[in-house]
A and B are shown apart, each in its own frame.
Chain A
Amino acid sequence: MNKESVRIKKIKLFGDRVLEFARIYYRNKYGLAGLIILTFFIFLALFAPFIAPYTPSDTFLAEPFSPPSSKFLLGTDELGRDIFSLLIYGTWTSMTVGVLASLLTVIIGTFVGIYAGYYGGIVQSILMRLTDFFLILPALPLMIVLAAILGPSIWNIIFVISIVSWPVTARVIMSQTLSVKESSYVEASKALGAGDTYIIFRHILPNVTPLIFAYVILNIAGAILAEAGLSFLGLGDPSHISWGMMLYYADQFGALVAGIWWYILPPGLAISLLVLSFMMIGYALDEIINPRIRRR
């Protein structure tokens, strides 16, 4: 067997594994439902300009707070903007913030977790005290303060969410790293002369990757909620409409008191649904990855 055929063999085997994974995933009812909902939202986010009847800047100032009709499917807001269109355009913001914040969270968490777990000693102590510090601080007030100081921008929100939520991931990754580090296969690698970098990239990273995946997905749900919360409190980026911000404006203009349900319900439901879909996917992945749950 030459090098080329080994590569082909590996690609084929990888394909088989992906198919196998898809097959198991397909059998998981919750995971499948979550994936369908998510696909729907991704579709909305990507094709917003083609789906939405209006743009967020189209204002019908003469028709504020009009109830749902054939012209405005979900009615209008205080500026006479079409809520249905806002909802569709808002999908992009909520999703981007969620995904990017989660990726940043997990990248920081993985880096810290592996470093602390692998090198141990003083580095571990310092990093763990740092995560303790972040863990005991109440997340929401911290985020509010940080967001207020940094000012309203999408990037600041992403930064604020990640800075506050990475410690949980770091802890989990660290404990997994510790157990992989102690295993005989790492010892065997060391006995062959493998260096730290080799062991981290060849053994530890592959063994924590499933965890990383599950945490990225689960963190997206949390990040979407955090973004909605910050925006609802008026700390969002006004140049990007998001669902949280819609709720903020609805609250500002007394939609709740006035009984203008079409302003409140759609963004609220959209947030719940998107978060739910990520949660369902996350748990499905966890179930597939973690064979102990899978056996039941």
Chain B
Amino acid sequence: MSILEVNNLRVYYDTMRGEVKAVDGVSFKLEKGEIFSIVGESGCGKTTTSNTIMRILPPEAVIKSGSITFDGINLLEIPEKEMKKIRWKRIAMVFQNAMNALNPVKNVGSQIVDAITTHLNIPEAEAWRKVKELFELVGLDPSRLKDYPHEFSGGMRQRVFIAMALSCDPEILIADEPTTGLDVIVQRNILNLLRDLRKKLGLSIILITHDLAAVAQVSDKIAIMYAGKIVEYGNIYDIFTRPRHPYTYLLIKSFPKIGSKKERLVTIKGSPPSLINPPKGCRFHPRCPYAIEKCRIEEPPLVNINNKGLVACHLYDQLNLVI
């Protein structure tokens, strides 16, 4: 059963240089209890997508079309007052660099207590008990509740922030680049924590990241975004073993893979396009080694492949891309 459904979402930014088509027709479903990753390079629209779900877009962003259905409600249509009842309480978010967003002059425990008491109507003593539980849940020592943010390392602060996001027992957790800027070992620990939380709390998680390698170990499903569009969507095993879209394929092949044979890395020519004037047809065609005439003219639709996944490529059934 899907808990969140995004349908044909288009979000553009009005800038002096023109309209930036940051998200241009994105659809996906988040199933209950799954970890769903949106992977893409910087500027592909993944953060805009998650910010739209939370309705925390900057003023220059315009939602052109689409719907986001959560529990039968279209989040894009309800008034801000209603959204406040959903934001943090039912859908919570951990931001990129959240570890630097804690108030430095307040101990972390009372910061979470504040977050709880402003959102839920419970007495402070109970809130403290709750924070203690949360600390244990995210793997922090409850004896450090009264410590200040600077006494925690980056990874621990990220855990504090995750505890804060979980303080109102949300149904969905959106994690936007939760491990960027952390060391490898700490990164892995945080991702494992998210996996454990899913198991323990039955949480549904949307993981937004640029790091394809990191999500391979924790996600159930993946959507690959390129230039404002989802180009491929599917089960993690299918995507990593039998990708259908050349972009996904090349991306996976461009990572040096320790432990396998050392062969020359695959590269993708050029760089991601400007979203003011994206290329016509398939947006990946100028960088695609397989592009044919049709790719230049016609935009490929997202096609369902044997109910296993979706792909937007004219050649999906002709290319034999195997990792």
Nearest chain B CB to A37 CB, angstrom units: 26
Q: How far is the CB of A258 from chain B (nearest CB, A)?
A: 54
Give Cα A296 to B16, complex, Å: 7
Cα separation A294 to B16 with both chains bound (whole Å): 8
Within the assembled complex, what's the spacing in Å between the Cα atoms of A47 and B16? 41
Any chain B CB within 8 A of the CB of A295?
Answer: yes
Residues of chain A lying within 8 A (CB to CB) of residue B60: 296
- Binding site of B, secondary structure by majority: helix, strand, loop or mixed? loop
Instruction: State in angstroms the CA–CA spacing of A242 and B16 once bound together.
Output: 43
B267 interfacial by beta-carbon distance below 8 Å: no
Q: Find chain A residues with CB under 8 A from B271 CB.
A: none
Any chain A CB within 8 A of the CB of B260? no
- Residues 14-29 of B contacting A (Cβ, < 8 Å): 15-16
Q: How far is the CA of A296 from the CA of B15 in the complex (A)?
A: 7
Separation of A5 and B159 alpha carbons in the complex (Å): 60
Which A residues are in CB contact (< 8 Å) with B16? 294-296
Q: Give B16's nearest chain A residue, CB to CB.
A: A295
Chain B residue with the shortest CB-CB distance to A294: B16
Bound form: Cα–Cα A295–B13 in Å = 11
* Contact count A vs B, C-beta below 8 Å: 5
What's the tally of chain B residues with a CB closer than 8 Å to chain A? 3
The number of chain A residues with a CB under 8 A from chain B is: 3
Q: Could you tell me which residues of chain B, from 130 to 166, have a CB within 8 Å of some CB in chain A? A: none
* Bound Cα distance from A42 to B16, whole angstroms: 33
Please, which residue of chain B has its CB at the minimum distance from the CB of A296? B16
A296 CB contacts on chain B under 8 angstroms: 16, 60
Taking the closest CB of chain B, its distance from the CB of A295, in whole angstroms, is: 6
Report the Cα distance A176→B16, complex, angstroms: 26
Q: How far is the CB of A96 from chain B (nearest CB, A)?
A: 38
A296 CA to B60 CA in the complex, in Å?
A: 9
**Min CB gap B20→A, angstroms:** 11
| Closest chain B CB from A123 CB (angstroms) | 32
**List of B residues within 8 angstroms of A294 by Cβ:** 16
1/0 contact string of A274-296 vs chain B (CB within 8 Å) = 00000000000000000000111
* Docked pose: A295 CA to B60 CA in angstroms: 10
Q: What is the CA–CA distance of A78 and B16 in the complex, to the nearest angstrom?
A: 55
Q: Chain A's nearest CB lies how many Å from the CB of B276?
A: 13
Cα distance A296–B17 when bound, in Å? 10
B13 to chain A, nearest CB (A): 10
What is the bound-complex CA distance between A294 and B17, given in angstroms?
A: 10
Complex Cα distance, B256 from A20, in Å, reads 44
Expressed in whole angstroms, the Cα–Cα distance for A269 and B82 within the complex equals: 54
- Return B58 CB to nearest CB of chain A, in Å: 11
Instruction: State A69–B15 Cα separation when bound (angstroms).
Output: 54
Within A162-221, the residues touching B (CB, 8 Å) are none
A238 to B120 alpha-carbon distance, docked (Å): 74
Please, how many angstroms separate the alpha-carbon atoms of A54 and B16 in the complex? 51
Residue of A nearest to B59 (CB): A296
Q: How far is the CA of A295 from the CA of B17 in the complex (A)?
A: 8
Per-residue 0/1 for B1-42: is the Cβ within 8 Å of any A Cβ (1 yes, 0 no)?
000000000000001100000000000000000000000000
A295 to B15, CA, bound (A): 6
- Some 5 contacts from A to B, beta carbons below 8 A apart, are A294-B16, A295-B15, A295-B16, A296-B16, A296-B60
In the A-B complex, list the 5 residue pairs whose CB atoms are closest, starting with the nearest: A295-B16, A295-B15, A294-B16, A296-B16, A296-B60
